[in-house]
Structure 1
Amino acid sequence: MTTTSQPVRQGLAAGITMLAAIMLLVSGTLSILRGIAGVTKDEIFLIPSEYSYQFDVSAWGWIHLALGVLLVAVAIGMMVTATWARIFAYCLAALSIVANFASLPHYPWWSVIVIVVDLVVIWAISTWTPDRV
């Protein structure tokens, strides 16, 4: 069965990809805010006493701040359907999953939510083929 005979699936994937771009934009913006909170050593973060991936909260803040800026840039690129943005979205979403897994003890609920959002983004981007819609 060819993709052209599945317009509903492609339409759904295209819509979900645009939603993924918006989710990347929101995730990036919130990562920027999370990064700022970490850099300023806000008291919203848990600081575990023993953890394998233990960094200073300020270090996690810089990591999430940089990741957030990149996510916002890629989300804007996806909104204008730039091919480079799709490629970088895969990489950044995967990197975001790793960063949020590693910082899980510092802010558990938010980390889990962002990991799920990133998985949906990866699925949506890999399902959509814009030249076949």
Structure 2
Amino acid sequence: MRPGSGMVTFAAVMLFILAFFNGLEAIAAIVQSHVFVAGAHIVIGDLRAWGWTLLALAILQAVAGFSVLAGGQTGRWFGVAVLSVNAFAHMWVVSAYPFWSLVIIVFDIVAIYALCAYGGRPVEA
């Protein structure tokens, strides 16, 4: 077992958890649920457009999670890219769902760290 393989598995599980949470938030935004702050300003588009964007990100995160679990550098870097886009996207809507957006951003950063710090090629001893 490679050193750090547990962190890579943790990052894959985080990708699945984030995909699930983004999927739930996307459904709430698409049906314009009242869980969001009333009158919040979203940088680009409206709440429904944000919901469809989140749904696409949730699907990409699930694909990235499977890709990271399959191993290989391509899946790892795809996971880093998807997590980075997700963190950046949640910065745009902090006013609509402040606490939850910040929690998602922190989860993204932790998973990016796990993929970048522990997902490289094994070092020859």
Q: TM-score, normalised by structure 1?
A: 0.83
- Between the aligned partners of 2:96 and 2:72, the Cα distance in structure 1 is 34
Residue of structure 1 equivalent to 2:54:
64
- Does the alignment pair 1:116 with 2:106? yes
Q: Is the 8 A contact 2:42 2:93 kept in 1?
A: no
| Partners of 1:27 and 1:19 in 2: CA distance | 12
Partners of 1:14 and 1:130 within 8 A in 2: no
CA RMSD of superposed structures (Å): 2.0
After TM superposition, the runs of 4+ consecutive aligned structure 1 residues lying more than 3 A away are none
Q: Larger radius of gyration, structure 1 or 2?
A: 1
Aligned to 1:14: 5
* Number of residue pairs matched by the alignment: 123
Determine helix, strand or coil for the equivalent of 1:19: helix
Match of 2:25 among 34, 42, 47: 34
Q: Which amino acid aligns with 1:20?
A: A
Unaligned runs of 5+ in 2: none
Alpha-carbon contact 2:76-2:119 (below 8 Å) kept: no
Deviation larger for 75-84 or 14-23: 75-84
CA 1:47 to 1:85, structure 2 compared with 1: closer, same or farther past 3 Å?
A: farther
Secondary structure, aligned partner of 1:132: coil
Partner of 1:3: none
* 2:96 paired with 1:106: yes
User: What is the one-letter code of the residue matched to 1:116?
Assistant: V
Distance 1:118 1:75, change over 3 A: same
Identical residues among aligned pairs (%) = 26
> Gaps (5+ residues) in structure 1?
1-6
Does the 8 A contact of 1:48 with 1:105 survive in 2? no
